[in-house]
């Protein structure tokens, strides 16, 4: 008897990653394809359908989960906005994929997918209450409460990177000013240093004093933002993912020290600050997990 499988898809501005997963999280086949440019909804849909046929040539999968770079509605049907993708406003992507594939489909924010993945198979698997930050081009977030993803009453909750750190800081695409994203994202690092995070990580590894000093400053800024989140959510753990997390060991001490300076011990008792474990596959893994949950509800 063939065991059922689902498809998890992570839609990004430059690449679309997808895989075929069994219920225990085993990925049997994966594929990465270029995101069409311009990445209009219709163009992305066409590429996704073709890619699905490649990873599931016998049409055996039973559901699809999709992570998109922006909030989905609370029902997991509509991609409300996809940051950095043109014309993505209230796109009924689940309906479109179901019409093309005949498979039940659920949509979620890509950072939420990463959080679900880490809760399922990664750094968050031992915690029932944790938050995840994805430090990438922007700063995404996910909130896991009592083992479940929290998205707010309309689906757009958990935008942790958009909290205010400095009311007079740089303008954010969200309309906020001085958001955590303006201090912790890859774009912010480029603006502040003129260098890429990987370059700064390599310099720090070689003992470069300027790079090491930058990562200390970065850690303090990150810790400042995390302090507000800790006071509100008192999580058991904070999982840090995204491309910048490759330099976790350089900014972790300063972030931890800033949290300890700003947050009362009663609000951070036992708190763990951890690097994510699933890397670039987290988005599609989490989308697959949501697909399994979609199947169970049907």
User: What tens digit of pLDDT does each residue of 213-245 get?
Assistant: 999 999 999 999 999 999 999 999 999 999 999
- Region 53-58: mean pLDDT is 96
* Chain center to CA of 152: 16
Q: What is the pTM of this model?
A: 0.94
C-alpha span between 285 and 172 (Å, rounded): 29
C-alpha closest to that of 9 among 88, 86, 84, 101? 101
User: What tens digit of pLDDT does each residue of 108-165 get?
Assistant: 999 999 999 999 999 999 999 999 999 998 999 999 999 999 999 888 899 999 999 9
Q: Strand 27-34 and strand 15-21: pairing?
A: antiparallel
The DSSP annotation for 184-196 comes to: HSHHHHHHHHSS-
Joined tokens for residue 99: 């019409």
CA 110-112-115 angle, to 5 degrees, is 115
């Amino acid at each position: 008897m063939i065991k059922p499988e689902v498809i998890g898809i992570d839609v990004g501005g430059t690449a679309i990653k997808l895989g075929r997963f069994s219920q225990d999280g085993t990925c049997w086949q994966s594929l990465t394809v270029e995101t069409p440019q311009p990445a209009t909804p219709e163009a992305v849909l066409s590429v996704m359908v073709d890619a699905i046929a490649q990873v599931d040539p016998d049409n055996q999968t039973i559901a699809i989960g999709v992570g998109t770079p922006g909030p989905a509605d609370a029902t997991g049907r509509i991609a409300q906005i996809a940051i950095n993708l043109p014309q993505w406003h209230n796109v009924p992507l689940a309906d479109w994929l179901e019409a093309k594939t005949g498979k039940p489909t659920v949509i979620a924010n890509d950072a939420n997918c990463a959080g679900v993945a880490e809760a399922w198979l990664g750094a968050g698997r031992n915690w029932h209450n944790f938050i995840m930050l994805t430090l990438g081009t922007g700063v995404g977030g996910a909130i896991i409460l009592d083992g479940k993803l929290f998205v707010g009453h309309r689906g757009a909750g958990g935008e942790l990177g958009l909290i205010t750190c400095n009311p007079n800081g740089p303008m954010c695409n969200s309309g906020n000013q001085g958001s955590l994203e303006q201090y912790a994202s890859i774009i912010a690092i480029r603006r502040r240093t003129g260098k890429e995070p990987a370059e700064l990580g390599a310099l720090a590894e070689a003992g470069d004093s300027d790079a090491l000093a930058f990562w200390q400053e970065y850690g303090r800024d990150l810790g400042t933002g995390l302090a507000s989140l800790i006071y509100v959510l008192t999580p058991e753990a904070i999982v840090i993912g995204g491309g910048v997390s490759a330099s976790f060991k350089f900014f972790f001490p300063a972030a931890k020290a800033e949290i300890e300076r700003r947050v009362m011990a009663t609000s951070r008792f036992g708190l763990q600050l951890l690097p994510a474990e699933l890397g670039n596959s987290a988005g599609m893994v989490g989308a697959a997990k949501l697909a399994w949950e979609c199947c169970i509800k049907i």
